[in-house]
Amino acid sequence: MIWRKSSYSINSNDCVEIGRGVGIRDSKAPVTHLPVAPAAWSAFLRTLKR
DSSP collapsed to 3 states, the chain: CCEEECHHHCCCCCCEEEECCCEEEECCCCCCCEECCHHHHHHHHHHHHC
Give me the pLDDT at residue 47, please: 95
Give me the pLDDT at residue 13, please: 72
Q: Number of structural domains, the chain?
A: 1
Give me the pLDDT at residue 14, please: 77
* Mean pLDDT, the chain, integer: 84
Measured between alpha carbons, how far is 18 from 24 in angstroms, rounded to an integer? 5
Rounded mean pLDDT, 42-50? 91
Distances (CA, A) of 10 to 20, 35, 36, 37, 38: 18, 23, 23, 25, 24
Rounded mean pLDDT, 27-32? 84
- 0.75 exceeded by pTM: no
Q: Which domain holds residue 19?
A: 3-49
